[in-house]
Structure 1
């Protein structure tokens, strides 16, 4: 890879970089899936594959070559015990969010590259390799879908009067807390899918609500949060506090993603 260093990059240049690297990582993931792979188990009992490692290596090399002054926190490096000192601005990378979906032959997995500044996710790129799509967002400047037909703006929608279209994690489909939460408002449908795809479907206005009850890490959410908020949606903790970054151990509390209010 020969990526020139960006001289004093502005946020649009950084977003363009994230989109390009997410697109390239998605292609690597598709290639590995096509030829076959072995799934291993990490110490936290989560799965990992060759695709996770290859995508992360490609993204890290690209980010560090093009913007060497910006630290990068990435899932597999963190799992290996590699610690990176951060400043007020840093990248958060999940090279393959939804490894279980990927390994099971399903389509809902993503590549997430997000930039945090002063504890806020300010821009991000989320690739959906199985769909050949990349979503990008920059707070205050809008959000877009990139696909074979070009670039298209996306917008979160106001919830329909008929009821909310809800997305929920496949692993928490029967959680009584979800039923309790949804009992307080009209619901038209509930669909269970994996990974950051749920954020994206809310961002592009095909769903209205994604409550997350189980644990997540900051690299899972930074990029899709930037896309969703740039598209007019919101992500808050259950008490209404905006989801922020730089928390102990990079761990997120439960949160709720909503479309436009």
Structure 2
């Protein structure tokens, strides 16, 4: 029986250590973080991103030498992981823009894929003192959130109806397409929670605070979604691309080029059907 207890123990410890490093830099302010823009409009990077990236990659490779590790700040050789069954996807800080501004909606994310399926994920929102983890395999389906006091609570997605849906959307990358989604699903502004980080947003769905996240364009990467997807799978939620196709975890193609839809699962197909005319208009593509 594959319970992944050794992997989970290590990754929880690594995430907490990484969170402490990130908070130390953030407390030091702009001079300590040294944020700068990456080439090709790939967003900001800070000293914390690069240091945590190096530490996590080294620790995972030392603990599991047969595994591949693909991390955001060292992804140039990611294609070499294509033929390895077990692959870790690491985002040292998801939500760097918010992190660099001193906000709390960012996360350290460590996820494990086996045969292209996310089976384990840790999302540590260090700024909010919230650590979530999930394991989703045929032998084990469990997801937990640990608060600042160390109290652990099982994660549970909501069962809200289509008429009650709560949306979570981007804080730093607001899009007119989000307003179109809200109109199509009749979601009023007061039921739109705006946050940074894919992991933070998906975490709100896994906890039942929100029900839906739509990323209406390309831009997210495998390390953005692997760990959160394991959490959401464990509580019965769903993530697909905008047309309803499963997300593909292949390190030879790092981007989710067809956007994504994450939901509490109960009405995923109806949500996809409701936004399909919008999606076809956005992409003008024959996907189907």
* TM-score with structure 1 setting the length: 0.89
1:122, distance to aligned residue in structure 2 (A):
1.0
Partner of 1:152: 153
Cα distance in 1 for residues equivalent to 2:77 and 2:216: 28
Partner-residue secondary structure (3-state), 1:183: helix
Q: Any conservation in 2 of the 1:228–1:234 contact (CA below 8 Å)? A: yes
1:54, distance to aligned residue in structure 2 (A):
1.5
Partner of 2:21: 28
The correspondence for 2:204, drawn from 201, 204, 215, is 201
Partner-residue secondary structure (3-state), 2:67: coil
Partner of 2:180: 180
Partner of 2:112: 115
Cα distance in 2 for residues equivalent to 1:232 and 1:27: 31
Q: Are 2:89 and 1:92 aligned?
A: yes
Q: Any conservation in 1 of the 2:97–2:172 contact (CA below 8 Å)? A: no
1:233, distance to aligned residue in structure 2 (A):
0.9
Q: How many aligned positions are there?
A: 250
Partner-residue secondary structure (3-state), 2:244: coil
1:249, distance to aligned residue in structure 2 (A):
2.9
Unaligned runs of 5+ in 2: 267-288
Partner of 2:7: 14
1:10, distance to aligned residue in structure 2 (A):
5.6
Q: Are 2:253 and 1:245 aligned?
A: no
Q: Any conservation in 1 of the 2:98–2:172 contact (CA below 8 Å)? A: no
Cα distance in 1 for residues equivalent to 2:47 and 2:237: 34
Cα distance in 2 for residues equivalent to 1:70 and 1:141: 22
Question: Which region of structure 1 is more displaced relative to structure 2, 232-241 or 166-175?
Answer: 166-175
Which consecutive aligned stretches of 4+ in structure 1 deviate over 3 angstroms post-superposition?
none
Identify if the C-alpha distance between structure 1 residues 53 and 247 changes in structure 2 by more than 3 Å, giving closer, same or farther: closer
**In proportion to residue count, which structure has more helix?**
2
**In proportion to residue count, which structure has more strand?**
1
Partner-residue secondary structure (3-state), 1:21: helix
Q: Are 2:74 and 1:77 aligned?
A: yes
Question: Which region of structure 1 is more displaced relative to structure 2, 140-149 or 211-220?
Answer: 140-149
